[in-house]
Amino acid sequence: MRNLIKTSILLILFSCSNDYNLISSKHEVIEVKHAVDSNIIKMISPYKNNLDKEMNEVICYAKNDLIKGQPESTLGNFICDLSLKKTNGEANICVFNNGGLRDIIAKGNVTIRDIYKVMPFENELVILELNRDEYYDLLKYITKRGGEPIAGTKIIEKKDTILSQYNNYKKIKVLTSDYLANGGDRMKFFNNKEQQKVGIKLRDVIIEYCKKEDTISVTLDNRVIIRE
């Protein structure tokens, strides 16, 4: 199959100093008709083989499919629970978003590649603090969305009231990703909050946990109940 490669041809005029001026820019689509260079394949093969070996390493066994869903899911419960444990009690709850979980973990052997498919982003874990009003905004956000991955509390929506373990707390420490902590997915209640970095990426926390566990099994526990 012929590949199309989009290239940018930049003509840059350099002077004797460190300054330069861009004098023109042209973009073209160039059709590549030649077969892949066998020398290039030979050169990158050792690196690809080593990477495949690492990515295909089996790190645990899943007794059931871990999938996304609402108002809660086996995949969301799994990732939130193990992430919250990583803080050793420093955070009260853990919140992520369904959109950030990009794949499922199928029943059977789980590889590092599987975890990369679930979490391909370089998101890091952070802890931030919400006051009572901001926390209630978080609860309203979760119920309005029909449920998001959460751990550390049970949420029950009854008519115009949302109940949670921390409803009457003055301050609540929330574990989340740096993407969401910076207001991603319209989580505005996290904006301008001081972030305490946990010092590890979410993907690495999942891999670390799976390597410690021979077998994982996750069930739904009604941690998010939304009633009309």
Q: Which of 38, 55, 72 is the last residue of a domain?
A: 55
Rounded (5°) CA angle 215-221-225: 150
- Per-residue b or e along 119-144, where b marks 16 or more CB atoms closer than 10 Å to that residue's CB: beeebbbbbbbbeeebbbbbbebbbe
β-partners of residue 150 are 95
Does 35 share its domain with 96?
no
Pick the more confident residue, 15 or 95: 95
pLDDT beyond 80 at 210: yes
β-partners of residue 67 are none
Does 175 share its domain with 110?
yes
* Average pLDDT, rounded, for the chain: 88
Output the pTM of the full model: 0.80
Contact 153, 165 (CB under 8 A): yes
| Residue 51: band (very low, low, confident or very high) from pLDDT cuts 50, 70, 90 | confident
DSSP 44-62: HHHHHHHHHHHHT-EEEEE
Q: Tell me the CATH number at 146.
A: 3.90.780.10
* Kind plus residue range of the DSSP H or E element containing 31: strand 20-32
pLDDT beyond 60 at 2: no
β-partners of residue 155 are 224
pLDDT beyond 90 at 205: yes
pLDDT beyond 80 at 228: no
Contact 59, 111 (CB under 8 A): yes
Q: What is the pLDDT of residue 217?
A: 96
Does 77 share its domain with 10?
no
Residue range 91-131, pLDDT digits in tens: 999 999 999 999 999 999 999 999 999 999 999 999 999 99
| Residue 48: band (very low, low, confident or very high) from pLDDT cuts 50, 70, 90 | low
pLDDT beyond 90 at 160: no
Query: Structural domain tally of the chain?
Result: 2
User: Percentage of the chain with pLDDT > 70?
Assistant: 85
Q: What is the pLDDT of residue 164?
A: 96
In whole angstroms, what is the distance from residue 210 CA to residue 205 CA? Answer: 9
Does 37 share its domain with 141?
no
Domain that holds residue 154: 60-226
Q: Scanning the structure block, which residue is given the tokens 């991955």?
A: 149
Q: Which of 55, 77, 94 is the last residue of a domain?
A: 55
Q: Which of 21, 37, 55 is the last residue of a domain?
A: 55
Does 70 share its domain with 11?
no
